[in-house]
Amino acid sequence: MIQLKTMLNCIDNSGAAVVECALIVGQKRHATIGDRFVAIVQKQRGASDAGMGVASAANKVKRGDIRHAIVVRTKKKVQRPDGSVVRFDDNACVLINKSGDPIGTRVNGVVGAELRRRKWSKILSMAPTHA
């Protein structure tokens, strides 16, 4: 369950490492796998302590940016229609633009198969595995 102020790992190569949930899109109380939310980039990937002002050219987002994101993993157990229950080690997301296309070009790590039912097949195709 992802709610306001929840910190999530960003598992794509957009340049963000950790994001914070600012708003669940669709007026829901909490978000699960496949839900869209507004995220604020809290930590940038690959930024050293000394050179925070200098951003790498490969990073598409920087600290403080506000973007939309999709939840791909949650620590909360999710029950599937066949009766199986899946639970991940962390909360993770993938950043997307306003039209729904992923900002990054690669996804690192496992994503939930619930994305297929939520019509996020583009994220599923970029991921190495889905559980």
pLDDT-derived band at 28, boundaries 50, 70, 90: confident
What dihedral angle (degrees, nearest 10) is formed by the CA atoms of 24, 25, 26, 28?
Answer: -10
Instruction: Give the pLDDT of residue 50.
Output: 47
CA 131 to CA 123: how far, in whole Å?
Answer: 13
Express each pLDDT in 60-106 by its tens digit. 999 999 999 999 999 999 999 999 999 999 999 999 999 999 999 99
